[in-house]
Structure 1
Amino acid sequence: MSADKGLNMAQDPVRCSLCPEVVVIHCGSCQVNLCAKCLSTHIDRNKSLKHEIVPYTSQLVKPEAEIQKCRDHPKQQCDLFCQDCSVPICSRCLTGNHKRHGAVDLEEICETTRSTVKEDLEELRKFRKEYEKVVGESKEELAKYIEESDKERDSLKELGKQWHQMIDKVIDKVGKDMDEIIQSDTKCLQDNTEEIQSALQDVKDSIKANEDILQDDRFTRLLSYASKNDAFRIIPSRPAIKTAKIVPVNVKEGDIIPKLIHFQRSICTKLPGYSLNRTGDVSSISTKSLLPEPELIATVKTNCKQLKGICHNEDDRVWIYGTDEILREVDITGTVQNCITAISKNSQKDIAKNKMGEIVFSHLSDECVNIVREGKISKLLDLSGWIPFGVTFNADDDLMVCMRREDYQESKFKGRTYIGFTVNPNRRIQQHNKGKHAGGAWRTHGRGPWEMVLIIHGFPNEISALRFEWAWQNPKKSRRLKHLPAKTKKENQFQYRFRIVSAMLNTCPWCRFALTIRWLKQQYVLDFPLEYSPPAHMPIAYGPVRIKKSGTNSKRGKTEPPNEQGDEEDIEFLSLLRRNEKYVRCSVCRERTKDYDTLLKCIHPKCSMQAHIICLSKKFLTNQAGQLIPVDGKCPSCKAVVLWGDLIRAKHGCYQNLEECTSAEEDTEDADWTDQLQSHVT
């Protein structure tokens, strides 16, 4: 008789951690199970620890913890957890790749997570009860709905029988009327036929009599002859009767149904959901949500000239307005129910309705918001200095107005654009506005004042920036931009140039540069076309900025040692290199080198990654075959995603920490934020 091997293993007693004997005692300090023979051996091996020896009880003793070896130090056991990298580590890792990372005890965080799982489990059990309750209610609602629907269907069948009986009665009545008409018409035709037949017989008798007189030789009959032809000259009239016909009335199905029955559709509403917090309190959730796709309910024909705005009223009615300066309330059929004349010189821009049913509309030229109360228009808000556009009411019935300042003035030469390259935009814009004799361009001479509205910076060097400028100025000559459509009639020059640069930012090699797109003037901001959205690694910034850099004297343009004006982390990094002037190990190829100029350092302050430029670029381009310039990649040490451009700028000491600057700083020549917009500092 053989026993199952799996069953033997499942029933096998707990063994000693040092030998195959059965467990007798348990060390609570070391969390190991021991037999009586191995107790002294265990204590001798760990004399520095205080051992808590208790009898072994399977219900009280926790299972042995899972032993996990360190990934970087295979001989070390993981007893810590790195919160920055979310991986188990050993104590030696704190001096290596996980230096300055937040580390906690592995067992402690496991216990914390276990407690969280228990709490979530209890909460999930509560959720299960609530969901079971809701499912039961939903099934009851479904059964009730099916039962009531069956009753309504039976009612429709009974109504159909009544309709059939009514139609049968109508057909019988029409049939009787038709029979009476047919009998009357038949009798009339028969009488007329008999009358004509009698006259025909008289004609025949007269013919026979005249023939007999001609054959008889007696003169007495000739002398007594009297002609009857005058009586037969008038032929009797006869009736012309058309057959009675059934003429069906042309009634459409859609017209007859409302006269026979009114079908009320089912009303589908959403009961508000509710959320359960940890204490068991219930809070409702709004059921309002946007439709995934718009639905066409009805098409309303209006006589409004150039419809400009619409506002829903109630009961399938809407308020509309157009260029004819009349506010109309129309129903779903297009019939005008109410009309208000608003003498606004075509200046109304939007319309809204509050909970009281009052209509408000913005007035552009008068810089106010008007309200319609009891059919009269009055001023609700005076917005002197501001031009109102959109108006609406929020959930609390508070009026919200979208407006802009009145002092906004557009350029005199609207649509004129100029594209150029500079390392000092503030000084350059002054030269353009002063004219060609002051250093401005010929194209901008005498056409001011000019405003600089968009800057694209972060090029590796001046040559690449100048090539970008030339292609932007000459898209038809550039072999990379010849496929772009020409300027359309609907586009002004500024919109056309912006479309060109949007396409350039998605074209190689510029799409791989660590560029920054900055709008300097908010009123000129345009949205990028959907097909030419900037790459994810190119940030879009707004407003004037000031740049902070290390390693360069902004007044003299001289490069100073980074350890004197550089970042604190760079000082520590360079100091470490100078103390250990022998070798530095590359984090990618693991080779040691003394050539510090070929090394890149991670920009994250807690990461000590150092790697060759070539090695790191090859690692970043692993999944980007055919490319020469990386865009981004994961740091081999901290696993954080970093931009290649940031690594290069950090190596050269150019940290483009852009900050908002005040108007006073913009006018200061010494604090010029545009002095070093290039990525590469020389």
Structure 2
Amino acid sequence: MANVDDVHTKPIPAFYCCYLLRSTVRQTSLYIGSTPHPSRRLAQHNGVSRGGARKTANDKRPWEMVLIVEGFMSRTAALQFDTIYTTWAWQKPGKSRHLGDDDNTESAREKGKTRPRGPARSLKGHLENLHALLRSTYFSGLPLRVRFFADDVHQLWRVWSDRIDGFIPEHIKVIPDGSCFENRQPGIEYLRVGSVEHIQVDYSKIHSYLEKTTFQLDDPEDLQCKVCQAPVVPKEELVLVCPQTRCYCVSHLLCLSARFLDSTKDRGRLIPISGKCPGCHKTIQWSLMMQELSFRTRGAKELQAILRKKKRGDCRVKDVPEKDTDDVGTVTAECCDFPESVGGSIEGPGDASDESTHDDVRLDDDWYESLGIESDHEIADWSESHPAMPTRVEIVIEDSDCDNTG
């Protein structure tokens, strides 16, 4: 467990998920774990790279990652969710205080009896318990997403979801991905990534958002909170900026939080999921703003590296003042006095870019206690209008060592 003081001084992670593996050799063998880097972790389990777990070795390989549950936030974002504990609760639901007798497992719903829960060894049992966890009072308030990569697993999930009396909250998206038949449900297709290898696990998706907020708040004169109309002081207060590209709405964190909570139907909610921006009136995700805020306020060195990288990229396309016809189109070297390697993507063991320079930025490997989220429409909006520059700020996080194979 990371030191509490360290956890509360580090940014919210870019990505973290719980995953379910299935052996392609013995399909009754299943394994649950958690990781900040699914494709790297899958390679470790399959022996392609060093790591993995004892129970995923040798005779049960290769493994396939059939689903992930993503969107976990750190405690610094006040969601109070421990990823490792969630993995443990999913593996051993009978010992989890989050699953009570009223969570509508198959035995309780169909038989009308309460029976002690043992470890769920079947795929169906794992999906039932996952469904119950997502409906539980504690976890149903988190901005999670369930992503399926195997069509048969997704179909089994749909059958169970149709039979069960309880419903997963609307904000928890279920995404059929990978080999799943294309789902025409509005708002889902653009979330598909195709495979585990294509999941974006670094901070590049918020680079343009970070650049926007940094420059907007750099000169706070005349900036006012859109909610309370009072001046904002970014160096002394927690200030949020709308992630929409063309909106420059600024609000105090507490003001915007209260506004979002006032607009929700769930009066017992303490932390917002999303809300309408008071400036542009578009729906924005609370978790995205919290990730940007935590990075801006707790990752000063990493933020400066991103801004330097962006500036260096801009300098490369700046033309030298025209002297003669031979000089047209050349790039000024003087304005680009930054090192060639400055950071932003996660690199795991065996990645191509192992060399580092004095200006590379690395976050400590113990700064995660519970972990990550990304946005949807805001991310797509920023990606289209502000393509991120590839960078190399490394994040080194341990994967879980929880073993659960059948």
TM-score, normalization: structure 1?
0.32
Aligned AA (2:95): K
Q: Deviations over 1:247-290 (max 9, x none)?
A: xxxxxxxxxxxxxxxxxxxxxxxxxxxxxxxxxxxxxxxxxxxx
Q: 1:426 aligns with which of 14, 28, 39?
A: 39
> Is it true that 1:546 corresponds to 2:199 in the alignment?
yes
Structure 2 residue 285 is matched with structure 1 residue 643: yes
User: Would you say the 8 A contact 1:550–1:653 is kept in 2?
Assistant: no
Between the aligned partners of 2:60 and 2:148, the Cα distance in structure 1 is 20
The code of the aligned residue for 2:224 comes to R
Contact 2:224 2:232 in 1 (8 A): yes
Shift of 1:653: 5.6
Shift of 1:522: 3.4
How big is each residue's C-alpha offset from its partner over 1:132-170, in whole Å with a ceiling of 9 and x where there is no partner?
xxxxxxxxxxxxxxxxxxxxxxxxxxxxxxxxxxxxxxx
Q: Over the residues paired in the alignment, what is the CA RMSD in angstroms? A: 3.9
1:496 to partner: Cα distance: 0.9
Determine the C-alpha separation between the residues in 2 that align with 1:551 and 1:525. 30
**Residue equivalent to 2:215:** 575
1:598 aligns with 238
Which residue identity is paired with 2:46?
A: N
Distance in 2 separating the partners of 1:626 and 1:642: 20
Q: 2:248 aligns with which of 608, 625, 641?
A: 608
Matched, 1:459 2:101: no
How do residues 97-136 of structure 1 correspond to structure 2 at under 5 angstroms?
A: none
**Aligned residue identity for 1:618:** A
**Cα distance change of structure 1 residues 535 and 613 upon mapping to structure 2, 3 Å threshold:** same
Distance across 2 between alignment mates of 1:533 and 1:613: 31
Are the aligned partners of 2:44 and 2:51 in contact in 1 as well (CA < 8 Å)? yes
Mapping for residues 162-201 of structure 1, pairs under 5 Å: none
Deviations 1:296-325 (A, max 9, x none): xxxxxxxxxxxxxxxxxxxxxxxxxxxxxx
Pairwise mapping of residues 31-110 of structure 1 onto structure 2 (< 5 A)?
Answer: none
1:443 paired with 2:43, answer: no
* TM-aligned CA deviation for residue 652 of structure 1: 4.3
Is 1:520 the counterpart of 2:159? The answer is no
Contact 1:434 1:440 in 2 (8 A): yes
Say whether residues 1:481 and 2:95 are aligned partners: no
Closer/same/farther in 2, CA of residues 586 and 427 from structure 1, 3 Å limit:
same
Give the Cα–Cα distance (whole angstroms) in 1 for the partners of residues 213 and 226 of structure 2.
Answer: 15
Structure 2: distance between partners of 1:474 and 1:454 = 18
User: How far apart, CA to CA, are the structure 2 residues paired with 1:477 and 1:587?
Assistant: 46
Distance change >3 Å, CA 485–CA 444, structure 1 → 2: farther
Higher relative contact order (CA 8 A, sep 6+): 2
Residues 489-542 of structure 1: per-residue CA shift (max 9 Å, x gap): 9x9711110111112112232212222221223343233413454322223331
Secondary structure of 1:451's counterpart equals strand
Secondary structure of residue in 2 paired with 1:571:
helix
Deviations 1:581-624 (A, max 9, x none): 44531111211121256111122222221111111111111254
Counterparts of 1:443 and 1:548, CA distance in 2: 26
Distance 1:607 1:534 in 2: 32
Instruction: Determine the C-alpha separation between the residues in 2 that align with 1:590 and 1:471.
Output: 44
Aligned to 2:273: 631
Alignment of 1:302-317 (within 5 A): none
Q: List per-residue Cα deviations over 1:291-350 (Å, max 9, x = no partner).
A: xxxxxxxxxxxxxxxxxxxxxxxxxxxxxxxxxxxxxxxxxxxxxxxxxxxxxxxxxxxx
Which is strand-richer, 1 or 2? 1
| Partner in structure 1 of residue 227 of structure 2 | 588
Q: CA deviation at 1:638?
A: 1.9
Deviation at 1:455, TM superposition (A): 1.0
| 1:59-458 correspondence runs (5 A) | 411-434=24-47, 439-449=51-61, 450-458=63-71
Contact kept? 1:583, 1:594, Cα under 8 Å: no
TM-score by length of 2: 0.51
Query: Following the alignment from structure 1 to structure 2, what is the Cα–Cα distance between the partners of residues 547 and 467?
Result: 24
Match of 2:139 in 1: 510
SS in 2 for 1:420: strand
In structure 2, give the amino acid aligned to 1:628.
L
Q: Report the alpha carbon displacement of residue 420 of structure 1 after superposing the two structures with TM.
A: 0.8
Question: Does the 8 A contact of 1:458 with 1:516 survive in 2?
Answer: yes
Mark the runs of 5 or more structure 1 residues left unpaired by the alignment.
1-408, 553-561, 655-667
Give me the whole-angstrom Cα distance separating, in 2, the residues matched to 1:550 and 1:445: 32
Report the CA distance between 1:679 and its aligned residue: 2.8
Q: Which position in structure 1 is the counterpart of 2:339?
A: none
> Which residue of structure 2 lines up, in the alignment, with residue 499 of structure 1?
128
Separation of aligned partners in 2, 1:410 and 1:551: 33
Displacement after TM superposition at 1:425 (Å)? 2.1
Structure 2 residue ranges without an equivalent (≥5): 1-21, 76-80, 111-119, 179-194, 297-349, 354-367, 375-393, 396-406
| Superposed CA offset, 1:445-465 (max 9, x none) | 445122111111111128522
SS of the aligned residue for 2:128 comes to helix
For 1:438 and 1:605, locate their aligned partners in 2 and report how far apart those are by CA, in whole Å.
Answer: 41
Larger Cα-atom Rg: 1
Contact 1:514 1:643 in 2 (8 A): no
Following superposition, the deviation at residue 550 of structure 1 comes to 4.2
Distance apart, 1:428 and its partner CA: 2.2
For residues 447 and 414 of structure 1, what CA distance do their matches in structure 2 show?
A: 12
3-state SS in 2 of match to 1:498? helix
Q: 1:441 to 1:486 in 2, by over 3 A?
A: farther
Q: Percent identity?
A: 26
**1:398-435 Cα deviation digits (max 9, x unpaired):** xxxxxxxxxxx983322222111112222322333339
Whichever residue aligns with residue 271 of structure 2, its letter is I
**Residues 214-270 of structure 1 deviation map (CA, whole Å, 9 limit, x = unaligned):** xxxxxxxxxxxxxxxxxxxxxxxxxxxxxxxxxxxxxxxxxxxxxxxxxxxxxxxxx
Q: In the alignment, which of 232, 236, 259 is matched to residue 619 of structure 1? A: 259
Instruction: For 2:134 and 2:239, locate their aligned partners in 1 and report how far apart those are by CA, in whole Å.
Output: 29
Match of 2:372 in 1: 678
Cα distance in 2, alignment partners of residues 576 and 445 from structure 1: 51
Q: Residue 506 of structure 1 contacts residue 534 of structure 1 at CA under 8 Å; is this kept in 2?
A: yes
Q: 1:90 maps to what in 2?
A: none
- Partners of 2:210 and 2:293 in 1: CA distance: 9
Letter of the 1:625 partner, please give it: R
Query: Secondary structure, in 3 states, of the residue corresponding to 1:525?
Result: helix
Contact 1:458 1:678 in 2 (8 A): yes
**CA distance in 2 between partners of 1:443 and 1:533 (Å):** 33
**CA deviation after TM superposition for structure 1 residue 645, in Å:** 1.6
What is aligned with 2:364?
none
